[in-house]
Structure 1
Amino acid sequence: MLVDFLAYFNRINLVYKTLDGIPFEAAVLIPKSLTPDPAKSYPVLVHFHGGALIVGTNPDPSFFARWIIELTTTTPAILISPAYRLLPESTGADILDDVSSFFTWLHTSFPSSLRSAFASSPSDSPAPDLSRIAAVGESAGGYLSIQAGLLFNSHAKIRAVGAAYPAQYPDAVAYNARKLGNAEAEKVVDGYLERVKRGEMPMRVSSPWPEGKELVEAMCVTGRHREMMGEDERLSIGGATRIAREGGWDVPPVWVIQGEDDDLVPKAGADFVVGEIREVLPGVPVKYTVEPGPHLLDLECRLDVPWVKEGVEFMQKHWL
């Protein structure tokens, strides 16, 4: 499904940081169903796009689930989808730094930046309620949503996380184990990494699907995602949960969605991630929804699908 965002939202692009002259934009999507009331403030839904941390844009219509559109427009909430650096020109640690920077900006500069965007019509500017933030994402975006809640919630202040097929963790053995025997795919990965080492591939913060499809498919076939992510302990679920426990901050409740037939991010990986959170952080509410279906199984699901409705109600109980 390719989503026509302008059919549901008015879009504003705001820059949350600049690095090496490259602006990192956050797409602010304000539902057309939201009529700003100066006496009200509106909850915020942060969305991280999928794409294996290698491709995607903010948000990418190829991956964006319909239930998220309906959740945002019926709440109503202000949806914000930040860009972030992409592998392998950057590392997984770089991406985590972008996520942290985004939440710092969200709590310090976003309200004034949003008002400035409506300077010519201030009555049309909705006031964000930064005490009511939830984070959602699919695949790599689900991974980043969980990571934000585990690593950065001392300043992110997320109240609930919704993460679809998020087990892209280097210590989740079931995900992306190194596979041998596909010489052509190995050649694609080796060639791209060599160009990165030679400095021929500039930093990317947006690659709308299907841009980069060949590299993503080669990574999946060869199982070399870990190699692209790097060695930072924060990237693993074991490291992230330990950091959260030792940090002592409030980790938000997590709803994990997983397809039984997902061959890109297998269910066994999600089982491991959910198990780690429950074991290391037993006080964190976790709802684990497993349904028949492949990767992107929730893409066309609406809010009235029973298991989606149940999961959304879990999130709303803690978010709103």
Structure 2
Amino acid sequence: MANRPHIKHTHVYTTHQATDLYIDVYLPQLTESETPKPIILWLHGGYLITGTRNAIPTWLLNYALAQQWPLVSPDYRVLPESTGLDTIEDVLSAYKWVVQSLNQLHPECRAEPSRIIVAGASAGGWCALVSALHFSTSVETIPPPCALFLLYPMTDPGSEKWAQSVSLPGATVDPDTARDLLEDIPRRIARGDISVGEEFPKAEEELRTRKRLPLLYAILEKGVFLDYLTGVARFGQSVVSGGLERLVDERAKRLFPLDFGEFGSSFPPTVVVHGTADGEISCGESEKLVKRLAEGGVGVQYLPVPGADHVFDLELQECRVAEGGSDEPSAVLSRALQALRRHTDAY
């Protein structure tokens, strides 16, 4: 089964220099009820370097369409041409667009801006987490998220792992290509280039046409991911040699949610799903987040998927309830969706 029948609308939600950033709105073909609908704001993964707004799990989109919930997926600026602070700015702009413009442009969707689920996978989980922390620590005139849904999220970029060389399973880039890609980054930044990522390959032959995957591998293997996240040269080296605390000013603290985030009663209830055999982003990052949330009195539900790797859900079309507390991925994700529904109903 592919995606359920739907209507897709695309809008420009913000512009940087001459680059328009787009946001897609997915609606069911017919809305059969006048009841206001929760909204899913989906933030794609890709290590903040690649991926696009089209990278939406089929099972999640199908669930949203079946419930007649609008699902909204934006572009955002990515590394290394931009910094993580630019990414946060875009994610918050997309959130505000949903609150202020979605119903104006699409009154037929009957969206309820006070019930926004911010959801994301991998680096998109980081985007969701930092956006929710923004509402916990600032005075806003728009409603905060009613819930977070984090799928195998990157939550701890301040750890030494991300400050050093990281080799992703099965990911290789030859040394000459890596050197050329890394040497070109300062020129891109000096020109003011902006990127919103690149489509993930859907087949093996497409791997040869992708330019940002080798860039991703080179940045991680060189150990300079934190340099481009912060926009500070040799930042990762400094973290390894002296720790994070002395390096980070107030503005940059937003990049490191587990080190500097304030998780208290105003933080939205959170559902976290992570495979226990994730070879790219350890489930330990989620476990650390869950502990922090629980200590802060935040309602949190952690649903580990035994033996599952990163992007374990890639081929799933639907999530079905299974009897007997099954640990199959579809069943675990179904429980996560049920939990999110309870949060939206209680809001």
* CA gap 1:197/1:134 in 2 versus in 1, 3 angstroms: closer
**Distance in structure 1 (CA, Å) of the matches to 2:260 and 2:127:** 11
1:86 aligns with 2:72: no
Partner residue in 2 for 1:223: 223
**Distance in structure 2 (CA, Å) of the matches to 1:270 and 1:189:** 31
Match of 2:14 among 6, 17, 41: 17
**Distance in structure 1 (CA, Å) of the matches to 2:61 and 2:282:** 26
Give CA deviations for 1:15-61 in whole Å, capped at 9, x if unaligned.
Answer: 222221322211001123x4354x3332211101111111111122x
* CA gap 1:272/1:11 in 2 versus in 1, 3 angstroms: same
- 8 Å contact kept, 1:303–1:309: yes
1:151 aligns with 2:142: no
- 8 Å contact kept, 1:147–1:240: no
* CA gap 1:207/1:40 in 2 versus in 1, 3 angstroms: same
1:27 aligns with 2:21: no
* CA gap 1:180/1:146 in 2 versus in 1, 3 angstroms: closer
Measured after TM superposition, the shift of residue 221 of structure 1 is 2.8
Match of 2:339 among 305, 314, 319: 314
Alpha-carbon RMSD: 2.6
**Distance in structure 2 (CA, Å) of the matches to 1:158 and 1:109:** 16
**Distance in structure 2 (CA, Å) of the matches to 1:273 and 1:252:** 13
- 8 Å contact kept, 1:137–1:164: yes
Tell me which amino acid in the other structure corresponds to 1:139.
Answer: S
Partner residue in 2 for 1:138: 121
Give CA deviations for 1:71-111 in whole Å, capped at 9, x if unaligned.
Answer: 20221200100111111111000111111112222222222
Match of 1:171 among 133, 158, 181: 158
Where 1:109 maps in the other structure, the secondary structure is helix
1:241 aligns with 2:264: no
How do residues 112-131 of structure 1 correspond to structure 2 at under 5 angstroms? 112-115=104-107, 125-131=108-114
Partner residue in 1 for 2:293: 277
Measured after TM superposition, the shift of residue 300 of structure 1 is 2.7
- 8 Å contact kept, 1:100–1:152: no
**Distance in structure 2 (CA, Å) of the matches to 1:298 and 1:172:** 26
Q: Percent identity?
A: 24
**Distance in structure 2 (CA, Å) of the matches to 1:25 and 1:126:** 19
Measured after TM superposition, the shift of residue 313 of structure 1 is 1.4
Where 2:117 maps in the other structure, the secondary structure is strand
* CA gap 1:315/1:192 in 2 versus in 1, 3 angstroms: farther
Tell me which amino acid in the other structure corresponds to 1:207.
Answer: E
- 8 Å contact kept, 1:11–1:27: yes
* CA gap 1:76/1:167 in 2 versus in 1, 3 angstroms: same
Where 2:106 maps in the other structure, the secondary structure is helix
Where 1:144 maps in the other structure, the secondary structure is helix
Moved more, 188-197 or 78-87: 188-197
Tell me which amino acid in the other structure corresponds to 1:22.
Answer: T
Where 1:17 maps in the other structure, the secondary structure is strand
Any gaps of 5 or more consecutive residues in structure 1? 116-124
**Distance in structure 2 (CA, Å) of the matches to 1:303 and 1:126:** 23
Give CA deviations for 1:265-292 in whole Å, capped at 9, x if unaligned.
Answer: 122222223233333x2x2111112221
**Distance in structure 2 (CA, Å) of the matches to 1:295 and 1:179:** 19
* CA gap 1:156/1:15 in 2 versus in 1, 3 angstroms: farther
The TM-score with structure 1 as length reference comes to 0.82
Partner residue in 2 for 1:119: none
**Distance in structure 2 (CA, Å) of the matches to 1:294 and 1:188:** 31
Where 1:29 maps in the other structure, the secondary structure is strand
Match of 1:52 among 44, 47, 53: 47
- 8 Å contact kept, 1:256–1:287: yes
The TM-score with structure 2 as length reference comes to 0.77
**Distance in structure 1 (CA, Å) of the matches to 2:228 and 2:36:** 41
* CA gap 1:272/1:224 in 2 versus in 1, 3 angstroms: farther
- 8 Å contact kept, 1:258–1:290: yes
Partner residue in 2 for 1:187: 179
Tell me which amino acid in the other structure corresponds to 1:219.
Answer: I
